[in-house]
């Protein structure tokens, strides 16, 4: 019996030691990643210093070139958006980055599916970019709201990093495509005429997404950050009722709402898009330049 207890004790001591070792190695790889999403998230959470941050989903990361904003307005800018993410991710990132500084402005691209509509999706995907920063003040609340048992799971480094170690190694040893200023343009061109994006007419909003949206507003007010909502063009956008809640929410909270959803100078030009929802690099450059006068007026 004594030997059995000894073996059990040794086993758990080794398990804890290995778990700690995984955490140390993973943290080193995160801090020294030479590209990819890991380097971008590490920069956002611990190194950002820019005056203006762009946040949102793929329509934000594809449509806003910080360099154009920087050159035109002489204001530092970084694109903090992620593909397939929305206000849940954005709130976690804001919690992390405001631990070391507060930007002057946040330009938030509103996307109904990711920001307030109930679409029966998996919340855990929104926490993906935040997993390495669970211990950062405020970030843990995102995980706890997604899964009540997550706070116990996240105590293990092996759980946090088990699916990402190979990616972390690759991001330290292999060439990574640079992500300048967080901007990820799409080079492809839409060559066939698609159907116009349909309004989904969902009957209700997602309670947790709306809560995160409200938390973003509150955090910005508390940190004296000027928050702006914006909507970039959709190809052949004919119906914009999915954005009604976003417009109303902005109005109720005193948030400027810049609406280019049906901007026909862009939305009718197929050469500016690579699919009905996203512009390619030509569209992004044209659109970013177009909104400069509006940004200049608002930032004053």
Q: What is the per-residue pLDDT across 18-73, written as a single tens digit (0 to 9) for each?
A: 778 777 887 888 888 888 888 999 999 999 999 999 999 999 999 999 999 999 99
- From CA 47, how far away is CA 130, in angstroms rounded? 15
Task: Please report the pLDDT score of residue 237 as a whole number.
Answer: 77
- The residue length of the chain stands at 300
The answer to whether the Cα torsion of 295, 56, 90, 181 is positive or negative is: negative
Percentage above 90 pLDDT, the chain: 57
For 272, phi then psi, to 5°, come to -90, 0
- What is the pTM assigned to this prediction? 0.90
Decide if pLDDT at 238 tops 80.
Answer: no
Higher-pLDDT residue of 150 and 96 is 96
Task: Please report the pLDDT score of residue 57 as a whole number.
Answer: 96
Task: Please report the pLDDT score of residue 300 as a whole number.
Answer: 75
Tokens matching residue 157:
């480094």
**Model confidence at 7, in pLDDT bands (50, 70, 90)?**
low
Residues 6+ apart with CB under 8 A from 70: 76, 77, 181
b/e burial code for range 191-216 (CB count within 10 A of at least 16 → b): eeeeeebeeeebeebbebbbebbebb
For range 190-205, the mean pLDDT? 69
**Model confidence at 286, in pLDDT bands (50, 70, 90)?**
very high
Superfamily of domain 2-299: SGNH hydrolase (3.40.50.1110)
- From CA 278, how far away is CA 267, in angstroms rounded? 10
Write down the domain spans for the chain: 2-299
């Amino acid at each position: 019996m004594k030997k059995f207890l000894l073996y059990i004790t040794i086993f758990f001591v080794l398990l804890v030691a290995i778990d700690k070792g995984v955490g140390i190695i993973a943290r080193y790889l995160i801090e020294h990643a030479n590209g990819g999403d890991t380097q971008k998230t590490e920069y956002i959470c611990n190194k950002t210093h820019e005056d203006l941050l762009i946040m949102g989903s793929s329509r934000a990361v594809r449509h806003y070139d910080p360099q154009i904003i920087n050159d035109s307005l002489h204001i530092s800018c970084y694109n903090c958006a992620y593909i397939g993410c929305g206000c849940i991710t954005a709130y976690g990132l804001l919690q992390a980055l405001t631990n070391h500084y507060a930007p002057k402005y946040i330009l938030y691209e509103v996307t109904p599916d990711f920001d307030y509509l109930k679409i029966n999706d998996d919340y855990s995907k929104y926490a993906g970019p935040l997993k390495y920063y669970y211990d950062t003040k405020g970030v843990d609340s995102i995980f706890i709201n997604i899964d009540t048992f997550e706070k116990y799971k996240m105590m293990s480094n092996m759980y946090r990093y088990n699916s990402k170690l190979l990616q972390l190694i690759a991001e330290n040893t292999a060439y990574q495509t640079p992500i300048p200023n967080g901007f990820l343009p799409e080079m492809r061109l839409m060559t066939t005429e698609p159907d116009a994006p349909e309004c989904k007419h969902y009957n209700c909003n997602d309670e947790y997404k709306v809560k995160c949206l409200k938390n973003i507003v509150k955090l910005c007010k508390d940190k004296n950050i000027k928050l702006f909502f914006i909507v970039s063009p959709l190809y052949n956008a004919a119906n914009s009722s999915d954005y009604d809640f976003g417009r109303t929410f902005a109005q109720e909270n005193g948030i400027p709402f810049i609406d280019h959803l049906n901007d026909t100078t862009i939305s009718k030009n197929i050469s500016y898009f690579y699919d009905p929802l996203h512009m390619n690099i030509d569209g992004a450059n044209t659109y970013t330049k177009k909104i400069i006068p509006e940004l200049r007026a608002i930032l004053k």
